[in-house]
Amino acid sequence: MSAKKVVLISGGAGFLASHICDQLISGGYKIICLDNFITGKNANISHLLRNKDFVFVRQNVSVPFKVAGKVDYVMHCASPASPVDYYSYPIETMLVGSNGTYHMLELAKAKKAVFLLTSTSEVYGDPKVHPQTEDYWGNVNPIGPRSVYDEAKRYAEAMTFAYRREFKVDTRVVRIFNTYGPRMNVNDGRVVPNFICQALKGRPITLYGDGKQTRSFCYVADEAAGILKLLFSREPGPVNIGNPREFNMIEFAKLVLELTGSKSKLVYKPLPEDDPKQRRPDITLARTKLGWEPKIELREGLTKTIAWFRENI
């Protein structure tokens, strides 16, 4: 029998989780990857399918399921994560955050495995505290279009902490901030794929609102490394993992134009409802408790991402 540790990961064919799978395989772990391909893609994991340490099961974790054998770590990464995706799949998003989290926690409990929830900076809503620290409770509209994601993740955090208190499941919660890199879904509507594809095709760059809203973008390899540091730590979290370098969307559009050498014009479109005006993680906790901080600057990460998009659109 293999002595390798087994990690079961939901949503493993998604953009971010597929990079987590890559890092786990490089680190000598076995993976059981579950995905129902709502927003995940076979192409994100096709390079892993022949690896004997990687097992893929097509499974929706919002319905009950069984897993045979030992599992040492359970990572619940499944969920539509871009605003366009969760507007398209509102019920699925709520169910994977609620029932999905419940099923994954039950599995962790039964297998005596460590459980990690990938939560989100969206739990802070349109934040009134800036930058966001983990002790901020957030400013979320409970019935707006974004609520299907925000409230599902808030529920998922509450459920995770309930299992920790009630059943002593060894849990971790990470709050993921905006992440970008190769394998982002070209059509997921997020700002990074939108701007890069528009620039590469010479189409207008669509700035929503006045373009002065801010975000902080973390390169996917950094993000995945931070999440795994949390998984293998003793820290329950929640811990913010993201890049604290903050840009507004006009600055970001100009950087994409520069790095692609595109002559696309900037055009302004309406701001989506409840779009947060500012977002930047305070990563003091990740720095001090995990010894983690991002290494890849936006220019370097965007250059790699643009190269990937050139090949894949």
Q: Which residues bind ligand UDP (CB under 6 A)?
A: 82-83, 178, 190-191, 194, 206-208, 213, 215, 249, 271-272, 275
Residue 241's nearest CA partner among 274, 279, 281 is 281
Provide, rounded to whole angstroms, the least separation between the CB of residue 98 and ligand UDP: 20
Provide, rounded to whole angstroms, the least separation between the CB of residue 104 and ligand UDP: 23
Nearer to ligand UDP, 144 or 272 (CB): 272
Active-site annotation holds for 136: no
CA atoms within 13 A on the CB side of 38: 24
Nearer to ligand UDP, 22 or 122 (CB): 122
Give the C-alpha separation, 310 to 260, whole Å: 10
Provide, rounded to whole angstroms, the least separation between the CB of residue 275 and ligand UDP: 4
DSSP H/E element including 90: helix 90-97
Give the C-alpha separation, 267 to 288, whole Å: 42
Phi-psi region of 291 (alpha: psi -120 to 50; beta: other; left: phi over 0): left
Provide, rounded to whole angstroms, the least separation between the CB of residue 35 and ligand UDP: 21
Contact 290, 233 (CB under 8 A): yes
Nearer to ligand UDP, 151 or 171 (CB): 151
Q: What is the DSSP string of 35-48?
A: E--SS--HHHHGGG
Whole-angstrom Cα Rg for the chain: 19
The position carrying tokens 């808030």 is 154
Among the options 149, 163, 180, 219, which is catalytic?
149
Using the 8-state DSSP alphabet, how is residue 131 labeled?
A: S
Q: Which residues contact 305 (CB under 8 A, 6 or more apart)?
A: 180, 181, 182, 184, 192, 196, 219
Provide, rounded to whole angstroms, the least separation between the CB of residue 10 and ligand UDP: 20
Give the C-alpha separation, 141 to 50, whole Å: 44
Provide, rounded to whole angstroms, the least separation between the CB of residue 133 and ligand UDP: 18
Nearer to ligand UDP, 54 or 124 (CB): 124
Nearer to ligand UDP, 171 or 206 (CB): 206
Which residues are tagged catalytic?
149
